[in-house]
C-alpha cells in the first residue's frame, strides 16, 4: 500500500511558533512507519504571540478579539501547511493540534476537564483544500480523561524496545513523559505518561523578565550554566502540590506561568540571587521535578531517558538531568531516528492518520479516560 502523505501542525505552550512536519506514514500500530520529508517552525508575529499569551494569562478581552485571534491562528496554520509542501507532492491529510490557550484538568472523579485549542480545523481545511483533523483532546475529555498527554501512544509505536524500558521526556513549555516498558505481552497496558510540570515555561519567562523582553529563552542554557542553583529554594518549590499528585495528571501555563514566576521571584528575595543564579535554580527545578516524578510514580528507573522538544537543546539542563539520573543514559530522539524538534508535530500527523482509519489515539492508563477513543474531528476538504 502507498504511504499517506500527512502534515502535522502543532503550537505548544511556549507559543513560539507553528512546528510543521510533512511526513509519509504507513502501517497501523507495530508496523507503523513514519518518514519526515520536511520540518519547519514558522514563528508567530510578535503581536499575535502577545495576544495569545495575554488570552491564556487571563487578560480581559471581548469575544470579537478572541474571534480575531482564533481566525489569525487558523490562517497562520493554513499558511504553514502550504509552505511546508513547496517542492513536494501534495499531502492528502492534515493533523492540526491548534494553539492551547486554556487547559483545566478534571477536578475530581466525576468531573469533566476542559481544554481549548484555537485555530479552527474547518478553516484550515477550506484554506488549504486538504482534509483536516483537529480538536484532538475533546473526545478523551468527554470520556473523563485529561485530554493530555496524547503523544504516548505514538511514542509507544515509534520508540519502544523489546528489552529496554524507556522514558521519552518532552521538554516544551511544559514537560511530559511517556514511560515505555519493554515490549512484552501486556506492555501497552503498562505504559504510563503525565505532565511532569514546568519545562521551559518559567525559564523563558525569567529570561524575558531579566532582559526586559529583549531575549525570549536561555540559548543552550549558557546563562543558567554561569550561575549556581539555590537548593533550599528548589526544595521549597518542589513542595508544590502538583509534583506530589499521582498520575493521571496534566497541567499548563495556568499553574506554571507568569503568576508562578512572580511567586518564585518573591521567594528568592531573601537569598539575594543574581539573575544567573535564579535561572540556574529554575532550571534545577525543571530537572529535579522530572527525576522526582520518575522516582515517585514509576515502578523503577528506566534503562534510558530520551529527550525531545526545545528543552533538549538546552545543554545545561540536559547535563543536570544526566547528573541526577546517574548511570541512566540521557540522549535525544534524534539519536533514535525521530526528530526531537518535530516529534510533537509528527505525532499529530500520526493521530490524524489513525483517526482517518478509525484507530483510537488515547491511552486510558495515561489520560485517565474510561475507554479508548477516536481522537479528532474530521473536516473534509470543501473545495
Ligand atoms: N537552542 C536552545 N537552547 C535552549 N533552549 C531552547 C533552544 N531552542 C529551543 N529552546 C527552548 O524550547 C522552547 C520551545 O520548545 P517546544 O517548541 O518544544 O515547546 P512547545 O511545543 O511550545 O511546548 P509544549 O511541548 O509544552 O507544548 C523555547 O521556548 C525555548 O525555551
Ligand atoms: C493541553 C495541552 O496543550 N497540553 C500539552 C502541553 O505541552 C506539553 C504537555 O502540556 C502535554 O500534556 C500537551 O502536549 C502534548 C503534545 C501531548 O498531548 O502529548
- How does DSSP assign 281-319, residue by residue? HHHHHHHHHHHHHHHHHSSS--SEEEEESGGGG-HHHHH
- Those residues whose C-beta lies under 8 Å from the C-beta of residue 15, and which sit 6 or more positions away, are 44, 49, 52, 53, 56, 99, 173
The mean predicted confidence, pLDDT, of the chain is 97
CB 203 within 8 A of CB 283: yes
Crossing angle of the two packed helices 275-297 and 231-238, in degrees rounded to 10: 50
pLDDT tens across 322-369, in order? 999 999 999 999 999 999 999 999 999 999 999 999 999 999 999 999
Q: Which atom of ligand 2 is nearest to the CA of 252?
A: 10
Q: What percent of the chain has pLDDT over 70?
A: 99
Q: Name the closest-CA residue to atom 17, ligand 1.
A: 310
Burial of 194 per CB tally in 10 Å (0-12, 13-18, 19+): buried
| Predicted pLDDT of residue 381 | 82
Residue 263, pLDDT above cutoff 80: yes
1 pLDDT tier (thresholds 50, 70, 90) = confident
Q: Which atom of ligand 1 is nearest to the CA of 170?
A: 25
Grid cell in block for residue 378: 474530521
Grid cell in block for residue 331: 540522549
ipTM: 0.98
Ligand nearest to the CA of 8: 2
CB 169 within 8 A of CB 306: yes
CA-CA distances (angstroms) from residue 350 to 35, 155, 294, 330, 358?
Answer: 11, 10, 27, 25, 12
CB 45 within 8 A of CB 26: no
pLDDT tens across 129-167, in order? 999 999 999 999 999 999 999 999 999 999 999 999 999
Q: Is 195 in the pocket of ligand 2 (CB under 6 A)?
A: yes
Per residue in 26-35, is it b (16+ CB within 10 Å) or e — as a string? eeeeeebebe
Q: Is 140 in the pocket of ligand 2 (CB under 6 A)?
A: no
Q: Name the closest-CA residue to atom 17, ligand 2.
A: 149
Q: Is 12 in the pocket of ligand 2 (CB under 6 A)?
A: yes
Grid cell in block for residue 239: 513542595
CA-CA distances (angstroms) from residue 252 to 62, 149, 193, 301, 341?
Answer: 23, 11, 15, 25, 20
| Predicted pLDDT of residue 382 | 63
Residue 32, pLDDT above cutoff 90: yes
Q: Ligand 1: which of 195, 310, 321, 338 to mutate, most ligand atoms within 8 Å of CB?
A: 310
| Predicted pLDDT of residue 109 | 85
The pTM assigned to this predicted structure is 0.97
Q: Is 309 in the pocket of ligand 1 (CB under 6 A)?
A: yes
Grid cell in block for residue 170: 518532552
Q: Name the closest-CA residue to atom 13, ligand 2.
A: 149
Give distance in angstroms: CA of 315 to centre of ligand 1. Answer: 13
How far apart are the C-alpha atoms of 315 and 218, rounded to whole Å? 10
DSSP bridge partners of 197: 175
310 pLDDT tier (thresholds 50, 70, 90) = very high
CB 42 within 8 A of CB 17: yes
CB 131 within 8 A of CB 379: yes
Q: Name the closest-CA residue to atom 10, ligand 2.
A: 174
Q: Average pLDDT in the 277-284 region?
A: 98
pLDDT tens across 174-194, in order? 999 999 999 988 999 999 999
Q: Average pLDDT in the 265-277 region?
A: 98
Q: Is 149 in the pocket of ligand 2 (CB under 6 A)?
A: yes
| Predicted pLDDT of residue 383 | 64
Q: Which atom of ligand 2 is nearest to the CA of 10?
A: 16
Q: Is 204 in the pocket of ligand 1 (CB under 6 A)?
A: yes
Pairing status of strand 132-134 against strand 377-379: antiparallel
Residue 279, CA atoms < 13 Å, CB-side half-sphere: 28
Q: Is 115 in the pocket of ligand 2 (CB under 6 A)?
A: yes
Residue 27: left if φ>0, alpha if ψ -120 to 50, beta else—which one? left
52 pLDDT tier (thresholds 50, 70, 90) = very high
How far apart are the C-alpha atoms of 227 and 250, rounded to whole Å? 30
pLDDT tens across 85-100, in order? 999 999 999 999 999 9
Nearest in space to 284 (alpha carbons), one of 210, 197, 209? 197
| Predicted pLDDT of residue 320 | 98
The length of the chain in residues reads 383
Grid cell in block for residue 38: 520536511
How far apart are the C-alpha atoms of 138 and 153, rounded to whole Å? 17
Amino acid at each position: 500500500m502507498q504511504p499517506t502523505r500527512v502534515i502535522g501542525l502543532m503550537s505548544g505552550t511556549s507559543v513560539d511558533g507553528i512546528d510543521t512536519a510533512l511526513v509519509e506514514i504507513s502501517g497501523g500500530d507495530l508496523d507503523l512507519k513514519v518518514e519526515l520529508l520536511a520540518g519547519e517552525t514558522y514563528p508567530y508575529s510578535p503581536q499575535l504571540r502577545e495576544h495569545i499569551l495575554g488570552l491564556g494569562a487571563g487578560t480581559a478581552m471581548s469575544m470579537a478579539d478572541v474571534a480575531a485571534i482564533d481566525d489569525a491562528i487558523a490562517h497562520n496554520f493554513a499558511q504553514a501547511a502550504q509552505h511546508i509542501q513547496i517542492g513536494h507532492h501534495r499531502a492528502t491529510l492534515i493533523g492540526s493540534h491548534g494553539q492551547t490557550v486554556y487547559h483545566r484538568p478534571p477536578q475530581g472523579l466525576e468531573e469533566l476537564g476542559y481544554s481549548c485549542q484555537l485555530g479552527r480545523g474547518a478553516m484550515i481545511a477550506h484554506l488549504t483544500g486538504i482534509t483536516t483533523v483537529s480538536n484532538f483532546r475533546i473526545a478523551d475529555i468527554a470520556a473523563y480523561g485529561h485530554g493530555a498527554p496524547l503523544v504516548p501512544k505514538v511514542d509507544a509505536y515509534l520508540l519502544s524496545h523489546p528489552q529496554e524500558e524507556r522514558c521519552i521526556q518532552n521538554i516544551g513549555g511544559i514537560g511530559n513523559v511517556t514511560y515505555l516498558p519493554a515490549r512484552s505481552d501486556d506492555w501497552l497496558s503498562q505504559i504510563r505518561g503525565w505532565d511532569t510540570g514546568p519545562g521551559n515555561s518559567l525559564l523563558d519567562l525569567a529570561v524575558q523578565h531579566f532582559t526586559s523582553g529583549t531575549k525570549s529563552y536561555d540559548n543552550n542554557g549558557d546563562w543558567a550554566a554561569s550561575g549556581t542553583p539555590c537548593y533550599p529554594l528548589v526544595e521549597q518549590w518542589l513542595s508544590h502540590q502538583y509534583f506530589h499528585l499521582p498520575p493521571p495528571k496534566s497541567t499548563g501555563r495556568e499553574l506554571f506561568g507568569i503568576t508562578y514566576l512572580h511567586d518564585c521571584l518573591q521567594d528568592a528575595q531573601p537569598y539575594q540571587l543574581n539573575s544567573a543564579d535564579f535561572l540556574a535554580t529554575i532550571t534545577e527545578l525543571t530537572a529535579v521535578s522530572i527525576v522526582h516524578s520518575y522516582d515517585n510514580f514509576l515502578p523503577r528507573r528506566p534503562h534510558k531517558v530520551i529527550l525531545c522538544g526545545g528543552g533538549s537543546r538546552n545543554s545545561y539542563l540536559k547535563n543536570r538531568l544526566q547528573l541526577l539520573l546517574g548511570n541512566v543514559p540521557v540522549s535525544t530522539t534524534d539519536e533514535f531516528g525521530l526528530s526531537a524538534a518535530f516529534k510533537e508535530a509528527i505525532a499529530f500527523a500520526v493521530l490524524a492518520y489513525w483517526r482517518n482509519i478509525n484507530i483510537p489515539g488515547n491511552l486510558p492508563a495515561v489520560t485517565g479516560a474510561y475507554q479508548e477513543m477516536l481522537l479528532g474531528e474530521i473536516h473534509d476538504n470543501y473545495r
